[in-house]
């Protein structure tokens, strides 16, 4: 199935560093969701974005809905070891269908 | 957000057999979905589970292989039929919350086919 491009694919960072990842597409999206998945568990919703340019925070996490509506960004500030996991973006192209396309994922590893 | 449970949490099955996965939600939800996550991969939508009618399948997925039931607004099952090792994946159910378009996932069922 179709997937969104996420970058970077994986990253190793030192504890305390800030992290940035993004999700891009050639198509326009109406809603962006960001998830974190820990090993052996289902994805957990972190942030939801509903309009172009929207900037939303959830603790140390900040996400933005790109103004072109074709991309989204997630930043994590002052990373800690429990930030380890796989981060997925998900975009909804058509309002009301509730169907999402998922990104390829960014695997984050934090070095203490 | 809704509390979603899945059974079994994991299973190891023999080639050619079938497994039915259950998804239970603690509140009534309109939209329920089934996803597959192959090893090391992202999530792919299998189908939308429709209450009281046949599921709506995505391209590449068919009812004979993945029959789905949705008898009410809190429960759904996905069967993986005539399994082969290529079916080894995590299968996840999800629901759309009562708020906006947020989607929440169950814990997943990890299936290994030998």
- pLDDT for B50-73, tens place per residue? 998 899 999 999 999 999 999 999
Burial class for B25, CB neighbours closer than 10 Å (0-12, 13-18, 19+)? buried
Indicate the pLDDT class of residue B99, thresholds 50, 70 and 90: low
**Do A45 and B1 make contact, defined as CB atoms within 8 angstroms?**
yes
Indicate the pLDDT class of residue A2, thresholds 50, 70 and 90: low
| Residue pLDDT, tens place only, B20-38 | 999 999 999 988 999 999 9
Tell me which DSSP letter residue B2 carries: -
pLDDT at A59: 96
Q: Please name the member of B42, B44, B106 whose beta carbon is closest to the beta carbon of A42.
A: B106
Instruction: Count, in order, helices (H) and strands (E) of chain B.
Output: 0, 11
Contact between B25 and B7 (Cβ < 8 Å)? no
Q: Which of B107, B99, B44 is nearest to A48 (CA)?
A: B99
The CA-atom distances, in angstroms, between A5 and each of A21, A72, B49 are 11, 11, 27
pLDDT at A93: 85
Tell me: pLDDT of A97 over 80: no
pLDDT at B101: 78
pLDDT at A96: 67
Count other Cβ atoms within 10 Å, centred on residue B95: 27
Count other Cβ atoms within 10 Å, centred on residue A91: 24
- For B102, which residue in chain A has the nearest alpha carbon? A48
Tokens of B42: 């992202």
Contact between B98 and B82 (Cβ < 8 Å)? no
**Do B42 and A105 make contact, defined as CB atoms within 8 angstroms?**
yes
Quick one: average pLDDT of B75-81? Answer: 98
Cα separation, A18 vs A15, whole angstroms:
9
Tell me: pLDDT of A44 over 60: yes
Quick one: average pLDDT of B99-109? Answer: 88
Tell me: pLDDT of A33 over 90: yes
pLDDT at A89: 97
């Amino acid at each position: 199935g179709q997937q969104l491009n996420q970058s970077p694919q994986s990253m190793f960072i030192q504890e305390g560093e800030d992290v940035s990842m993004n999700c891009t597409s050639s198509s326009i999206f109406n809603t962006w969701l960001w998830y974190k998945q820990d090993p052996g568990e289902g994805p957990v919703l972190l942030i939801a974005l509903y309009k172009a340019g929207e900037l939303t925070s959830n603790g140390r996490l900040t996400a933005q809905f790109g103004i072109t509506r074709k991309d989204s960004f997630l930043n994590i500030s002052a990373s800690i070891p429990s930030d380890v996991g796989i981060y997925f973006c998900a975009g909804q192209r058509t309002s009301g269908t509730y169907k999402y396309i998922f990104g390829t994922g960014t695997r984050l590893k934090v070095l203490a | 957000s809704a509390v979603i449970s899945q059974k079994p949490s994991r299973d190891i099955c023999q080639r050619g057999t079938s497994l039915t996965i259950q998804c239970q939600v603690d509140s009534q939800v309109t939209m329920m979905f089934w996803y597959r996550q192959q090893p090391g991969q992202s999530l792919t939508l299998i189908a939308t589970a429709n209450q009281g009618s046949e599921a709506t399948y995505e391209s590449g997925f068919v009812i004979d292989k993945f029959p789905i039931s949705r008898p009410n607004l809190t429960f759904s099952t996905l069967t993986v039929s005539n399994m082969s090792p290529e079916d080894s994946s995590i299968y996840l159910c999800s629901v759309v919350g009562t708020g906006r378009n947020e989607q929440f996932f169950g814990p997943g069922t990890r299936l290994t086919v030998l």
